Chain A
Amino acid sequence: MLTVFRHAVARSKGSILGWGLSLGLLGMWMASFYDSIASQAEQFEQLIEAYPKEIWAFFGGMIDFLSPEGFISVELYSYMPLVLGIFAVLAGSGLLVADEEKGFLDLLCAHPISRTGLFFGRFLSFVVTTVAILTLIWLGMMVGIQWSTYMNFGWGQMWLPNLSVLAFLLLFGALSLFLSMVLPSRRLAASVGGLLLVGSFFINGMAELNADVAKIADYLPMKYYQGGIAVNGLNLEWFAGLMIAAAVFTLLAWWRFERRDIRVGGEGGWGLPSLRFWRRRAAVSAE
């Protein structure tokens, strides 16, 4: 499992640097210009009041944009689930199936490593990659905060919104991984995962405007994403809820991976799952 993990993390270097550095630099730049916003608070207040509430809905409702936590919520953490969610969906759906579709998983699984070891080695690499990306974003933010007079978040305090993002990303990564285990292709799994991600984002935004939609939003993960407001204290129930849901999808994906065939092209194993999906491992006689 350790070999699989090390190799998978090494392969993720590009993702870590690409996503982490770009969003980290964005966070640094954004945090560094907070002072100029705060110093012109009156003008900004007038501007904000002129904005329609429909726009604010997608930033998590009418929050105090001029406060440091409101500022980071709107400017960074409001769209973080969507942007990094795409990373999570692509990484989760391709965690095993990308190699399977290439045909490499066939050779890998013929080596003396259990499917459980392979699965969790890869999943752990996804967790570490996600944490590494969030760490770079956090570092970028903290560097930017050092240049700000009005934004005074501590190093540990600034991790709390990232924990909220982490739980959200793990959930979508695990969900996409599960989808890749039951759907016939990675592309379909990523499409369904992406649709759920974008749908969750928009329905949650609409929930601010419509009470009926708000009832639906209660069942969607976006509702339990705290964002930048978490600097004032992480909602542990929401965090735990997202993490438990991520764990459930991870275990379902593992359960399915343990029982399914490793597919290769031309073998006819790429169809939609039928009732066979529920079939237990074939009972091969122990004689």
Chain B
Amino acid sequence: MNSTMKNVMTPGNASRALLLPFILLTVMGAQAATFTGSVVDINGSPVVGAMVTLEPSWPGPTYVTAFSDPDGRFSLPDQANYRPGSEFQVAIRALGYELVDSSKEEEGGSVSLTVIARATDNQAASAPASAWLQDKADHDTTSTFVLDCVGCHQVPSPEFRHYAAAIADIPGADRDAIRHASYDALVKYMNFLSAEEFGRGPEAGPPDASRVYEVGDGPRVIDYLSANFTDRMDSVSGYDWGAPLAVTPQTAIMEYAVPRPNAIREALLLGEPKQLWAADVASNAIVKIDPESGYTSSLEVPSDTPVGPHSLHRGADGSLWVAPFITSVVGHLDVNDETWDTWRMQTVDGTPTGIHDLSFGAEHTLLTDNDGLVWFSDIVNNAVGYLDPDTGAIDHYMAPPVLDRATTGTALYGLVMTSDREEIWFSQLNIGSIGSFNVVTREFGPSFQLPLNSGPRRLSISDDDILYVPLYGTGQLVEYDTKTHTQIGIYDMPDMASAPYAVTWDPVRKVVWIPTSNTDVIYKFDPADKSFTVLPMPRTGAFLRMVDIDPDTGNLVTSYANIVGHVHGPRMALIIDPGDGAYR
């Protein structure tokens, strides 16, 4: 099949406005520089665990970040593009600190920075969105609210906080009425944008406002907002990530900004040399980023209808599988010669499928069954099904009812396969249920239920067939043994408003990585002692979705997956070296 390739753009470092307050410095030397230094507070004491972010000159990663150690010392990873005569931006993120000043000493190619930070009680500039949800006493309604709203964007975002201030500025005595009317308007506006985003399709135009303003969840969201966000939100204090840092002096975060209008959903490292392949859910394209230079180009998924590449899976042979957001086109890309196979998927009665995931195995690659069939979850039809990539044959199996819960709109979502390749496990996001299906007997098997507002999303399975389930709404992690059908445990996330979106079993480190959508961090769970540690990202608005692990280096690959056009946070693909040497 043919493939088209177009060079789309630009140096990576095109989005300076997204960085936190920064200091500009110029490196004078005659050779490529190395950056080390320390972060100190206004009294000269070390600031520990601060993220120090440098914007190198193009070409290269858009930003590189290292963490300060217990002495406040940091060492930025070497990049070939620290070129002499270049200007660099330096920024920091440390909870409860703000950047004040920096000084620089330069000798040969060595640049030593002293970054001065000031402690602040008001953490508004450094804390994640979830910091504002910490004092909400009613966890149950907060969980429902997170599930209703954080599915598409962080809450409270800067825009929302500014709106709360605008409400507070409206004159009038009846504050309850003003607040309720204002949040009613805000929810209608959000419902409109949501209808537009999820209604994207071949002939879609703007939705009819009168039909989409009012949706079922609206009143409870308005009530929650009116009751819990009663004043301006200019400050927040006392927040921490809730877990010790999972970083070392060698931990390095490389961020690659993707020029608009691309909307990066997920990303993987594939090919030789390794390239970042990122799903652009706003188009039909897969964006390819060269990690060394930061150059981006894009490949179209061949299709005469909108696709919106969403879920990416690494094939066992190093190829790329693409599942769609909009229509039912599944793509398979040979990343070396850049040729595609695609399948247009329909149910037997002609209904389009809504494929969400293909089945992940313990290596976080696509695991087919023993007959080579590719199993998928169908978010539209409450079904699982298979594709035979050799013949193009597909079939569907509708999931059975669960207790007294809904049978439509269940959002059958995440999908994994057991190591014997005979059983798949799936989550149903909107009815808090986990189920299984035997791909040999073609019968549904054991299931277990969680609260309706728990929000189970993308699943992972260990090489011992232990299932991990992130609960987006209630902010918990479930550990379940698929061999004995017993729940090993359910654990509160360190920040229960963090909206854990996915889990990824790490087959070498024997841990679970948990990216969050509302807290700008990836938590690490150790099944041996059930402990959590945290790997924070260097910027706010980091709406994280999937994490993949490069099997060769153990580097994590993830993305800031803010929805294009509607959410104004960063859109980047990331390579993260946890700095633990685990894969050496």
Partners in one complex: no
Q: Interface residues, chain A, CB within 8 Å of chain B?
A: none
Q: Interface residues, chain B, CB within 8 Å of chain A?
A: none
